[in-house]
Amino acid sequence: MDYSEEIRDIYEVVKNNPNKGDTATYIPELADVDPDSFGIHITTIDGDEFGIGDYKHRFSIQSIVKVLTLSLAYKMLGKRIWNRLGVEPSGTAFNSLVQLEADNGIPRNPFINAGALVICDILISKLNNPKADFLAFLKNFSGNPGISYSDTIAKSEKSKGYRNIALCNFIKSFQNIDNDPNEVLNFYFDICSIKMNCNELSRTFLLYANNGRKVSDNTQILTISQSKRIKSVMQTCGFYDESGEFTFKVGLPGKSGVGGGIVAVCPKKYAISIWSPKLNSKGNSYRGMKFLELFTTRTETSIF
């Protein structure tokens, strides 16, 4: 199906309304982006693509990468991965320490910061050269050899990453981090620094819409079961403590990042990515949330 008319119309509606929220100023490099940037790109299972606005501008994908690190760790470790973290919505802030105390160092899900740190620890234990090996996996996964880390953004995050440092050491005290916390933290800051654009993100996440199989060459990267379970966690935990609201208003599995990106998947149909840097009070792109609510309503493509 051609969604270009719907995207064009809704893009204009959202763009011409107030752009509320603030950029993620607690990460110095993210505070410098143009707050009025706005891009959208969709890729369909049938091979159709459409982009509008700043869809070719690369931005820091931040927590969106957590879906991809989970995919590699799950692929390598299988169901044993769930011995070290859960699949429940957190109900608290994405960087909460309080919940870890009550849960004995087992993060509620892989998309809050604590869960992503445990995933990084798993990858460090499994990969010979975690930084290079993960990037190689991502390039193959996405079919895009041009993806890279941003040393500038990684350094910026490290300079202000006090809460993540506390989280990693706290989890270590519960024996749920095997490696040196500094090594885990450095890898975590690196993966969050990866830059992609809406075009690249929608193409990458199309694999989840296709049951773990690459559309380009039909290679099965994730099993059907793994793809299903990752999408289910995206549905319930992909938007911090606004995941219920996203499910209620949009009705698709998805993931956001504090760089202003959102990617969402409609099984057997499409993957769509939006970038707009201003965030609402929950840390999700204000325009991105508005756009997707209007889009799935008009196209009737919610999974519900």
pLDDT tens string 58-74: 999 999 999 999 999 99
Domains of the chain, by residue range, sit at 4-62+195-299, 63-192
pTM of the entire predicted model? 0.96
* CATH architecture, domain 4-62+195-299: 3-Layer(aba) Sandwich (3.40)
Beta strands in 101-259 (DSSP E): 195-196, 254-256
Q: What percent of the chain has pLDDT over 90?
A: 86
* Among 165, 70, 79, residue whose Cα is nearest residue 120: 70
Same fold for the pair 4-62+195-299 and 63-192 = yes
DSSP 224-238: HHHHHHHHHHHHHHT
Q: What's the pLDDT score for residue 49?
A: 96
63-192 in CATH: which number? 3.40.710.10
Give yes or no for a contact between 275 and 59, defined as CB atoms under 8 angstroms apart. Answer: yes
Asked if pLDDT for residue 91 goes beyond 80, the answer is no
Q: What's the pLDDT score for residue 29?
A: 82
From residue 98, alpha-carbon distances to 91, 101, 103, 178 in Å are: 11, 5, 9, 21
Distance CA 140, CA 171 (A): 31
The confidence band for 243, taking pLDDT boundaries of 50, 70 and 90, is: very high
